[in-house]
Structures are given as structure tokens and as C-alpha cells.
Amino acid sequence: MTRGMIYNRENFLNHIAGELGRERKKEVTRPEKQYQPQLKVFAKMTPDQLLEELIRACERIHTEVFVTNAASIEKTLKRQIEAYGGGPIVTAEDLRFFGFGLGMLLEQENVHKWDPSLGKENIEIAEKANIGIMFSDITLAESGTVVILNNKNKARAISLLPTTFIAIIPKSTIVPRFTQAAQEIERRMQTGQTIASCINFISGPSNSADIEYNLVVGVHGPIRVSYIVVEDR
């Protein structure tokens, strides 16, 4: 694809600046907002209080929350897998599985680890999976939302296509609300980190309702969702 040419840009911008009666601006300066109430919501909460708020929010979105520690997370995860009826399971290629001692889980024959080299075969496997398991990158206490920065190893299909979904939430990822998630994403961009082109905000199981408020669960995603909050190592 041939790159197009831009003609008369400088003359045009200089003309606009002249009509506005000012010098041509070369950089963008973000305006300072006079009022920012969004920064005060849950701002003084401790990590434990944010966890309590997350649990309350999850009650409203029909999502179970289990709190555990690094020593017991494997047992907690296995118990929830059994509660959902077992595999087949699809997971992301994520080093945090090994960091929390869950590497053995990925070696089970009924577990498929997302492999970019397999292409669409991954999607076909995810469609048939009973459970998808992923780690939350940022977690919003106010709405019970897990934020997943998807990439080639952490595909959206893992949390979308299986019948059920389990999100593992390191406690340190819990922030008050969307405001802090946006700030964290902005911080990563400013420090030169590569940001996912697909960022998903998942708040419990898929819910859809018609004009008469008839709720249907699972139309656009998992029927059941649970969160496992784990103390960081």
C-alpha cells in the first residue's frame, strides 16, 4: 500500500492559527480538570476493604468469589473445576500459572494451552471447552470487573467461548474503579510498554435482556463465572 502525500498542511494550520490570533501550537497539552470526583471514590480504602467491595459487587452480578492464598490456590482451583463439571479446559500461555504453582494444571491432558501457531484450531478447541481460565491484569472493585490485556497468548476466546469462566485475581491487581484502570494503562503507555490492542472488561457471566426485562444468561459469553482472589507471593 502506497503512503499518501499531504499537501498544504503547514499553510492550512498556519492560517487557522492566524485567524485565532495566536502562535501556531506544535504540541498537545492536556487541560487540567477543575473537578475530578472520580478520583475520590474508594480512594481511602485499604486492600482488604477493596476486596470486600469487590465481593459485594460480585453478588450483584451473580459471580462467586473465593479468597485463598498461594499455598492453597491449587486446591481451590481444582475444587471449582470439579464444581463446574471438569474439562475440557482452555487456558492462556501465562507465566503466572507457574508463578502461583499451577504449572501441573497445564500438563493435564484435558487442558489446552492457547498456542498461536495453531491458528483457528485454538478457537475450535475453545468453543468445545467447558471451562476457560485466565488471570486478571487489573480488577475493578466497584463493578466486580476483571480487566484482561489480551495478546496472542491470552486470547479473548478463552474468556468468551467456554461454557464457564474462572478468573484468577492476584489481590494486588484490585483497584477502586475504571478510573485507576485507565490511569494504569496510560502509565504503561507513557513508559513505553507495549499495550494490547484488545482490552476486555468482564463483569460476571454474559447477561442479555429484552425490552420486557426478561434476562437471558450466556447468549454472548459464559453462563457461569467465578473469581479466585489470591494473596500475592
pLDDT at 43 over 90: no
The model's confidence at residue 233, banded by pLDDT at 50, 70 and 90, is: low
- pLDDT at site 25: 81
**Measured at the alpha carbon of residue 42, what is the angle toward residues 38 and 45, in degrees to the nearest 5?**
150
Q: Which residues contact 50 (CB under 8 A, 6 or more apart)?
A: 42, 141, 174, 175, 176
Note the pLDDT tens digit of each residue in 135-161: 999 999 999 999 999 999 999 999 999
- pLDDT at site 40: 81
The model's confidence at residue 176, banded by pLDDT at 50, 70 and 90, is: very high
d(CA 117, CA 190): 31
pLDDT at 1 over 60: no
Contact present, 161 and 129 (Cβ < 8 Å): yes
Domains of the chain as residue ranges with CATH: 34-230 (3.40.50.10420)
